[in-house]
Amino acid sequence: MEPLRLFTRQLKSSFRDLLPIIVVIAFFQAVILQQIPEGLGSIALGLFIVAVGLALFIQGLEVGIFPVGENLAHEFSAKGSVFWLLLFAFLMGFSTTIAEPALIAIAQKASLTSEGRIDAFVLRIWVAFSVGFAIALGAFRILTGHPIAYYIIAGYVMVVALTPFVPVEIVGLAYDSGGVTTSTVTVPLVAALGVGLAASIRGRNPVIDGFGLIAFASLTPMIFVQLYGLYVYSFAEATSLESLSGMAAAASHQVHGAAEIIQKLFHELLSVVTDILPILVVIFFFQYAIIKKAVPNLPKISLGIALVILGLYAFIVGLEMGLFPIGESMARQLSEQNNVLYIYLFAFLIGFSTTMAEPALLAIAMKVEEISGGTIKQKILRSVVAIGVALGIALGAYRIISGDPIHYYIIAGYIVVIILTFLAPKYIVPIAYDSGGVTTSTVTVPLVAALGLGLATNIEGRSPLIDGFGLIAFASLFPMITVLGYGIVSNLSQHNKEQT
């Protein structure tokens, strides 16, 4: 009865998280567009499935993913082998990124819009390698105890230094690549690994040292993709537009008929299992072959992993039924409107509402509240992050409409982050850096990418490749600013209370 009671509580919480999305969509459909969306019953059913999937996913995290991640960190720390720990971190980052659905979607769009110069598979391999390197580097930082700010600021300087030399066609894609690498399953496992490692090493603080791995995984792809872009636009040739349009047509094949729908659902379940399988292979290989110990509470861990798979599967199916179709059509309809204020308002509200329902953010916020002993409330942290995403997407939409180069905004944003880093309390800095990587995942990326490409396609004088990408980068950057700002305000408030 206890598991059922917990699931019921999670289900109520999931419906609460989805409510802002429903309100935003209903308001724009009824008041702004004044249209009743097609397939209203399918949309409602899809949103219900999303809520159930989210509840199952969260319960699976608590039962299976968090414990196995923390256990591995403790075992590696006890074993004292730096080589095996860093190899595990690299393989974990690489294996989870290569099959990341958001990265696959962005890579395919990049291949089409670049006329074939960018190879989708090569881009995925390159980004996955950069994430593996990032997780290993982040684990090394925890071992050495170096302040995270030194690494992150040095990374930002490299991004900024490379930008003037990179073709304009690759800049937005490179900035976006940092936001699509941290998947819904990767985030909680990496967070558990970092926190568990910091908790196992004497002199490390789980809050200050444990977080930050996700920030590395969001930063290094920007550097690696810029380098890839330099090579591609120097040596690679464009593919014929006819073959590309044929690829696009094949990719957009519509599914009709009950048999094809069942087949599609089965393939989606298989896809979710395929996405998670590399993670499980890496975990169990290192657990049994390197650490040479059985997984503690294996039946409970297995149940948790099964719940994560089922939850993520239901979540994706529900999104495809309920949220993606209406989100894409609304992005297209709004971009055809004459009033740009509607676009900015939609960008802000959809950014806030989708972020509040983002599973990856929910997972990291739960871990932050647990490790901080309740000092940082997960609902407050999620709200602060969601405000940052909303501001970022609204500003990104303005950038597309105005036609301004993206790097002016991103570089200015990095300068603000660097300044706030030195003003904010130490405990909030790694959490702020991580928040930029957990906001652009299962829910946010497809809608935000559709909005950006829709605007760039429908506004005269804009290029989908040069202007359409970049919204995800804004959605990753601004949460860091708002969370650092929240830490500064909270610190000042606490200081004032102590003085009175």
| Structure confidence by residue, pLDDT tens digits, 336-350 | 777 788 889 988 998
Flag whether pLDDT at 246 surpasses 50.
no
Buried-state track 393-428, b at ≥16 Cβ within 10 A, e below 16:
bbbbbbbbbeeebbbebbeebbebbeebbeebeebb
pLDDT at site 23: 85
Task: Answer yes or no: is pLDDT of 252 > 60.
Answer: no
**Percent of the residues in the chain that have a pLDDT greater than 70, as a whole number:** 89
pLDDT > 90? residue 265: no
Q: Looking at the predicted structure, is the pLDDT value of residue 271 above 80? A: no
Quick: pLDDT tens for 127-141.
999 999 999 999 999
Look at the block and give the residue holding tokens 């044929």. Answer: 246
Q: What is the pLDDT, as a whole number, of residue 105?
A: 67
Asked if residue 17 has pLDDT above 80, the reply is no
Contacts of residue 245, Cβ cutoff 8 Å, sequence gap at least 6? none
Provide the pLDDT for residue 262: 76
> Taking the CB of residue 81, how many other CB atoms lie within 10 A of it?
14
**Does the pLDDT of residue 446 top 90, yes or no?**
no
Q: Is the pLDDT of residue 8 over 60?
A: yes
Measured in whole angstroms, the distance separating CA 490 from the mean position of its chain's CA atoms is: 26
Residue 244 has pLDDT above 50, yes or no: no
- Answer for the pair 399, 406: CB distance below 8 angstroms, yes or no: yes
Task: Give the residue with greater pLDDT, 468 vs 174.
Answer: 174
Residue 225 in contact with residue 126, Cβ under 8 Å?
yes
pLDDT of residue 487: 92
Q: Which two tokens stand for residue 346?
A: 């939609």
What is d(CA 393, CA 102) in angstroms, rounded to the nearest whole number? 17
Mean of the pLDDT values across residues 151-173? 87
Task: Name the pTM for this structure.
Answer: 0.76
32: Cβ–Cβ under 8 A, 6 or more apart, which residues? 334, 337, 342, 346
Domain ranges of the chain: 2-241+258-495
Q: Is 436:479 a contact under the CB 8 Å cutoff?
A: yes
- Write the CA distances from 121 to 105, 217, 232, 325, 362, integer angstroms: 11, 19, 14, 26, 30
Neighbours of 147 (CB within 10 A): 16
